[in-house]
Amino acid sequence: MSVDGWHTLLVLGGIRSGKSEFAESLVADAPTVRYVATAPAGDPEDTEWATRLAAHRARRPGSWSTEETAADPGRLVEVIAAAGPNETLLVDDLGGWVTVLLDPAHQPADDTATIAELAAAVRSSAARVVLVSPEVGLSLVPTTPLGRAFTDALGATNRAVADACDAVALVVAGQTAWLKPATPAPAHAVPPAATSPEAVPSRAAAPHTAAPRAAASWATAPQPTSEQAARNQTATTGAAPARAVPADLGAGDVTLPEVLTPAAAPVPAPVTSDEPGTGDWAAPTMALPMIATGLVIQPGMELPMPDDYTGPQAVDRLATLDIPGAGLGVLEQVVGFAAATQGTSTPRPWDSVRVLLIQGDHEGGASAGATPGESARRARQARAGRGPLARLAAENRAGLQIVEAPASAAMEDGPALSADEVEAALRYGWRLAEQAADAGVQLLVLAACGAGAEAAAAAVLAATAGAEAPTVLGRVVTEQGEIDDTAWMVRCAAVRDALHRTRRSAREAKDVLAELGGGDIALATGVLLGATARKVPVLLDGPVGTAAAMVSRDLAGQARHWCLLPDHGGRPGVRLAADVLGLTPLVDLRLDLGEGATALAALPLLRSALTLAATLPVHPSLGGPDDEGDTDERTGDDGRTEDEPDFAEPEPAGPGPTTIGADEPVSPGRRAD
C-alpha cells in the first residue's frame, strides 16, 4: 500500500521530537476520533509528569473521545480489534503500554504473546489507526536490568507493530521521514521510462523529507522533496498576470500564473465593468519559477493507477450504512472514484479544490460565429471575480487559476501549432498540475474559454475516434441566444478540410495536437498527465477537457482513470468521448454556462455524497451502534455521543461587504487555496 493510502500508521520518534503533534495533525480532519491513552497516572507528587499529561489533554479537540487503557495492557488489543470501519483511533503511546505491560502487578505474563496479539489486532483492524511510540533503540544500552527489559520489550513492540502497519514515519527534531513504504525516487512526477538520468541530475539527487504536519487531507501523508520545499519558499504576494506558454521551458525561469482565491459575494450586484484587477482576491498562493525539469513526455508512459481494491470496498461498504432509503444511487460512483483515487475505503470530501481556466483562441473557420475578443473578456471577468465560473468557484471555496494558452493557427490551412509549441504546452500543463499538488490541492477542475475550442475538440475526436464532424460538433449559439447554422456549417467545413489535409499524417498524440488540437487542448493534456503522475483527480466538463483525455490515453492510458465527468452538458462530442473513455456522466443538468461551470455546480452534490459515506454509522442490524440501547457507552468526554455532529457556533458577521469596482460588493473574508 502506498504512503498516501495508509490505513494503519506507526509514528516513531524520540523525546520531544514532535511525534505526538504530527500524529494528531494526521487525524485532525477525521469526523470522530477516539484517543486511546496508555500512560499510567504516575506518582501524584511528580508535577512534571502531570504537566506533560495535561499538555496532551489540552491539545485534543473537544469532539474527541478518550479511553484509558492503563489498568490492563490487554485492553488496548480489545479496543483496536473492536473498532469499526467508520472509526479513527489515535493510540499515544506504546511506551506507556509497555510500561504497564512490565508492571509487576501484571506479571507473570507472556509478554511476547501479548505483543503478538497487539500486532495481529493492528493488522486486522477495520478502523483507521495511528499509533505513536518512542524510538529508544538509538540510545546506549541501559545499565539497569529494568531499563534493559523496557528497551527490549519496546523494541520488540515497535518491530511487530511496524510490520503490521501499512506505513511507518520517523519524526526527528520536528522533521518527518517516511520509512514504510520506502519514499519513491524524486522523479515520481516523471515516469521512469520517460526520464533520462542525465537530464535530471538535480532531481535524482534530491533527498526526501517531509514537514511534521499532515497534508490537506488527513488520510494523505506528505512527501515533499527538498526541491519542492525550496520552491515553496519562493511564494510572493505580487499578482502577476497570466502568461502564455513559453516556446522553450528550459531557457530560463518562468512564473506560473497566480492562483486567485475569491470570496463569495452574498448579495450579487449588477455587473457594470469588466476591467481586470477590480476583484476582491487574496494574494496568489505561490509564484513558482519554471525550471528545466527534464520532462520527456512520450507515448507509453507508466503513470500511477487508482487503487483497484478500495473503490469496490467503499461501494460495498455503503450497503452496510444506516441509511433509511435505497442509498446514494448513481452517486455511489463518486464514492468509488474518490476511494480509489484516495486509496482508502472511507474517502473524505475534497477540501482543497483548484479550477484551471485555460484561455486560448483558434483562428480560421473553427471560430466562426464567435465574437472577437470574447474569450479574453471572459478571462478578465473571471480574474476580476465576476461571471458564473468565478462565482461558483467562490461558493465552492475553490482557487481559480487563469492560464493563457498560445493561439492556434487555422487548422484547415496548416498545423495549429509547431512541434516545439506542443512540447512546451505539454510541459507547462504538467507543471501547473505539479504546482497544484505541491500546494496540497486534492481536486482539479478543468475549465476552458476560447474561440474555436469546440471545433478543435471535434477535430481531435474525429481523428482519434473516427467520428464525423457534424455528429460531434454542437450548434452555434449567438450572444442573443439565436442558432447560427451558417457559422456551424463553416466550423464543420473547417474540421472537414483539416481532416482531409492530414489524412496521410500520423495519428500519434503529439501529431494530433500539432495538426488539429492547438494550444488549449495541448496544455489541458499536460495538466491531465501531470495530475495523474501526482495522483490528483480531475473533474472534466466540456469539449476541451474530454478531447485532452482522448489524447492523453495514447500517452498514458492511466490518465482517464483519474478523471470524473459530472455531466455531458448535452454536447454530442462530450457524449462520444465519454463513451470511448468509459466515463459515465453522473447528472444531466443541461447547463450551458461555460466549460467548467457545470462541474462546479455539481461539486456540492458530490461532496455531500462523500460526507455521508464517511460519517454515517453502520446499521444496528449489522453491528452498528443502537441509538436507544448503548447511548451511555458511546458518550465522550464532552458529554456528546460519538454519532452526534459537532456543530460550531456561527462566527459573528464582519463589518459588512467591501465594495470594489463599480457596483460589485464582495465579502471581505478571504480563504487560501
Please identify every residue annotated as catalytic.
595
Contact (Cβ atoms closer than 8 angstroms) between residue 529 and residue 429:
yes
Number of Cβ atoms within 10 Å of the Cβ of 64: 22
Number of Cβ atoms within 10 Å of the Cβ of 85: 18
**Residues 592-628: b if buried by 16+ CB within 10 A, e if exposed:** ebbbbbbbbbbbeebbebbebbbbbbbeeeeebbeee
Which amino acid is residue 360, in one-letter code?
A: G
Which residues share a beta bridge with 11?
A: 132, 169
- Write out the three cell numbers for 16: 520531544
Which amino acid is residue 494, in one-letter code?
A: A
Say whether 335 sits in a helix, a strand or coil.
Answer: helix
- Write out the three cell numbers for 9: 500508521
Strands laid side by side in the 399-404 sheet: 399-404, 353-359, 443-449, 538-539, 563-564
Give the phi and the psi of residue 434 in degrees, each rounded to 5.
-60, -40
43's CB contacts (< 8 A; 6+ apart) are: 49
Which amino acid is residue 389, in one-letter code?
A: L
- Helices 332-342/597-615 angle, 10° precision: 80
| DSSP conformation letters of 448-511 | EE-TTHHHHHHHHHHHHH---HHHHPPPPB-TTS-B-HHHHHHHHHHHHHHHHHTTTS---HHH
Number of Cβ atoms within 10 Å of the Cβ of 503: 8
Q: Using alpha carbons only, how large is the chain's radius of gyration in Å?
A: 28
- Helices 145-164/94-101 angle, 10° precision: 130
Could you give the CA distance from residue 370 to residue 476 in angstroms, rounded to a whole number?
Answer: 9
Strands 175-180 and 167-172: antiparallel
CA 72, chain centre distance (Å): 41
SS (H, E, C) 418-439: CHHHHHHHHHHHHHHHHHHHHC
Contact (Cβ atoms closer than 8 angstroms) between residue 386 and residue 271:
yes
Residue linked to cell 488520510: 219
Residue linked to cell 520527456: 296
